Amino acid sequence: GRIVRCCGDAAASLALSLCARASQQGSWLGVVGVSHLGISCAVEHGVALERMVFVHPPESSRDWSTTVAAVIDGFDLLIVAVPDSISVSDARRVQARLQARRSVMIIVDTAMLSLPKSSFSNNTHPFHADVVLDSTTKSWSGINNGAGYLQQRQVSIKVSGRRVARMQEHLVTCNY
């Protein structure tokens, strides 16, 4: 079981991109509590919709961890938004279940999104991510003189975490 944490303004896109190939090859994807994640966005990133399930967890953190544990039992991949109220002990139980089932959980931080702000910093997050992907959009292109549509996005991705020897930074171009 592994935990990947996606942060920054391209966190949701990054999480979907990480899951696309696995879902196309037969893995099931459970999305827990990430209500802003759209189906059209998933399609654009290549996620197999027939293998994607949205789960809306209860409000309490204890019920959230129980819900996530149940989703881990049935899915290879999870994309989750972690509530601020989750305790370290609940996070450890979820992490133990992930390891036992060999599932991958991708945490989408809400700090840059139009959701209630996450109060977690890198040092206080209850889940210890194996890999942290911090994204920043550098530029968009495609709209000329107010007409057209966005066709390209350049994103800087900083890679760190306990499974990464040293921090790395990559510039990625995404075509739409």
Alpha-carbon separation of residue 4 from 14, 18, 77, 159, 161 (angstroms): 11, 10, 11, 10, 9
Query: How confident is the prediction for the chain on average, in pLDDT?
Result: 87
Q: How does residue 61 score in pLDDT terms, banded at 50, 70 and 90?
A: low
- What pLDDT, on a 0 to 100 scale, did the predictor assign at position 176? 73
- What pLDDT, on a 0 to 100 scale, did the predictor assign at position 119? 46
Q: Which domains are present in the chain? A: 2-132 (3.40.50.300)
**For 99-157, what is each residue's pLDDT tens digit?**
999 999 999 986 544 444 444 545 567 888 999 999 999 998 888 777 778 888 899 99
**Among 8-22, 59-73, 109-123, the range of highest mean pLDDT:** 8-22
Give 44: exposed, middle or buried? Use CB within 10 Å, 0-12, 13-18, 19+: middle
Considering the chain, what percentage of its residues have pLDDT values greater than 90? 60
Which residue type occupies 142?
A: G
Nearest residue to 18 (alpha-carbon basis) of 131, 118, 120? 131
- What pLDDT, on a 0 to 100 scale, did the predictor assign at position 89? 92
Q: How far is CA 100 from the centre of its chain?
A: 21
Q: How does residue 20 score in pLDDT terms, banded at 50, 70 and 90?
A: very high
Considering the chain, what percentage of its residues have pLDDT values greater than 70? 90
- What pLDDT, on a 0 to 100 scale, did the predictor assign at position 113? 46
Q: How does residue 55 score in pLDDT terms, banded at 50, 70 and 90?
A: very high
